[in-house]
């Protein structure tokens, strides 16, 4: 039985239950919230606080009347477009158009349920997408719905308690020393500057190599400035076509300085004398885009007689060689342009195993003296 006018009830299990108006849905129907406690006084106090809190929310709530598709387009084109790079915008657009809208686009945003989000994730799993791809799609959806919740367009965020299995880290492959020597021997015979040599001795990403200009290399101060990266992305106007863009590196950590070592400096200076373009790696007197570099690399590994690998393996090889020679992880992280040391640790944890083994062996010698 309730205390008069307070909406506090004594339950059969002995607890007190307080009920308050949490909000109203798009049809004006009241949505109640409930709290429970062993003591009447505690429930009464907490209920009074919630009534004040939700009376403010209720008075300012304006539920979104459009569909999930409507909101996603508003979020991407109005809220996000000026905050993100063009390449990021395109990747978000593709995830939204290819996966989210076909599955959830017709739903009314204000009525979207957690169960439907979970079903969507299961749908993505059934498509046999990689774990990282699923995470990237769900991240876009969570960000958009999080914004809707902040702006009081939805009563609850259906993604709030959504949990995904952690992304599986693919085993990092690096060239063996023997295979590296085979590839280097072929790369050094190239007429122009070799993207292979740059990747193996600087750890640059393929897009950063494509965008590298001779003016970015300070031969007096021995510094390589990473100022831009080159992307090939789907066209905004024609989804069947792609376009090349030159842009600043995606993150602040990617825009970095790399020391220029003596032997690499000599190699680059010799190649600079024969340059036909402002770009270090050129094609038809202009830049060589990533797919041109990848094509040339396939020819190199075919000639070397080693298994087919992706150009990115050269970056992993650079990092692995650094680890093998005892370069500390903080320095390596800066060289690679990683956003955090944790990312470097997570990526090259197996490569660091021998360093850890050596570290405990050094300390173990102290124990030997005591035994």
pLDDT truncated to tens, each residue of the chain (371 aa)? 455 446 788 888 889 998 887 766 555 567 778 889 888 888 888 887 776 665 545 455 567 888 999 999 999 999 998 888 888 888 899 899 989 999 999 999 988 998 899 889 888 887 877 788 889 999 999 999 999 988 888 888 898 888 776 554 455 688 999 999 999 999 999 999 999 999 999 999 999 999 999 999 999 999 999 999 987 776 656 656 777 888 888 778 889 999 999 999 999 999 999 898 999 999 998 999 998 999 999 999 999 999 989 999 999 999 999 988 888 889 999 999 988 888 888 777 666 666 667 767 777 777 776 76
Give the C-alpha separation, 348 to 352, whole Å. 6
Tell me the C-alpha to C-alpha distance, in Å, between residue 260 and each of 89, 219, 293, 316, 334: 34, 8, 22, 19, 14
Domain ranges of the chain: 2-60, 68-150, 177-354
Q: Give the per-residue pLDDT at 251.
A: 78
Task: Evaluate whether 68-150 and 177-354 have a shared fold.
Answer: no
Query: Which H or E run contains 24?
Result: strand 16-24
Q: Give the per-residue pLDDT at 56.
A: 47
235 C-beta neighbours (distance < 10 Å), count: 11
Is the CATH number of domain 177-354 3.30.420.40? no
Look up the pTM and report it.
Answer: 0.65
Dihedral angle at the C-alpha atoms of 277, 282, 288, 293, nearest 10 degrees? -170
* End-to-end CA, the chain: 76
Give the C-alpha separation, 33 to 51, whole Å. 10
Q: Give the per-residue pLDDT at 4.
A: 46
Burial 54-83 (b: 16+ CB within 10 A, else e): beeebeebebbeebbbebbbbbbeeebeee
Q: Which CATH number fits domain 68-150: 3.40.50.970, 2.30.110.10, 3.40.50.2300, 1.10.150.130?
A: 1.10.150.130
Q: Give the per-residue pLDDT at 154.
A: 87
299 C-beta neighbours (distance < 10 Å), count: 10
- Nearest Cα neighbor of 70 from 90, 45, 100 is 100
Give the C-alpha separation, 334 to 251, whole Å. 12
The phi-psi region of residue 48 (left if phi > 0; otherwise alpha if psi is between -120 and 50; otherwise beta) is alpha
């Amino acid at each position: 039985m309730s205390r008069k006018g307070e909406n506090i009830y004594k339950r059969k299990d002995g607890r007190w239950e307080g009920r308050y108006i949490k909000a109203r849905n798009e049809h004006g129907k009241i949505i109640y919230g409930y709290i429970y406690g062993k003591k009447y006084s505690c429930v009464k106090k907490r209920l009074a606080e919630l009534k004040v809190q939700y009376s403010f929310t209720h008075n300012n709530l304006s539920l979104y009347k459009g569909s999930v598709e409507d909101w996603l387009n508003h979020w991407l084109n109005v809220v996000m477009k000026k905050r993100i790079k063009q390449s990021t915008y395109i990747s978000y657009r593709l995830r939204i158009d290819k996966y989210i809208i076909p599955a959830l686009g017709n739903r009314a945003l204000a009525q979207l349920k957690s169960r439907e989000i979970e079903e969507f994730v299961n749908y993505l799993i059934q498509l046999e997408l990689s774990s990282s791809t699923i995470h990237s799609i769900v991240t876009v959806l969570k960000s958009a719905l999080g914004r809707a919740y902040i702006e009081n367009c939805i009563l609850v965020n259906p993604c709030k308690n959504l949990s995904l299995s952690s992304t599986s880290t693919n085993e990092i492959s690096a060239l063996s020393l023997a295979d590296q020597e085979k590839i280097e021997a072929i790369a050094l015979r190239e007429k122009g500057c070799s993207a292979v040599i740059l990747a193996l001795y600087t750890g640059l990403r393929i897009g950063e190599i494509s965008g590298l200009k001779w003016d970015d290399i300070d031969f007096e101060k021995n510094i390589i400035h990473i100022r831009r990266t080159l992307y090939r992305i789907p066209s905004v106007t024609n989804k069947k076509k792609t376009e090349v863009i030159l842009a600043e590196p995606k993150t602040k950590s990617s825009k970095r300085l790399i020391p220029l070592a003596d032997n690499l400096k000599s190699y680059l200076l010799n190649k600079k004398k024969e340059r036909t373009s402002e770009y270090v790696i050129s094609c038809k007197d202009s830049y060589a885009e990533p797919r041109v570099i990848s094509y040339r690399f396939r020819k190199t590994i075919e000639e070397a007689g080693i298994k087919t690998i992706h150009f990115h393996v050269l970056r992993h090889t650079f990092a692995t060689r650094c680890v093998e020679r005892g370069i500390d992880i903080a320095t390596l992280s800066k060289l690679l342009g990683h956003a955090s040391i944790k990312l470097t640790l997570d990526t090259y944890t197996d490569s660091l195993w021998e360093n850890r083994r050596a570290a405990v062996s050094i300390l173990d010698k102290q124990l030997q003296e005591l035994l």
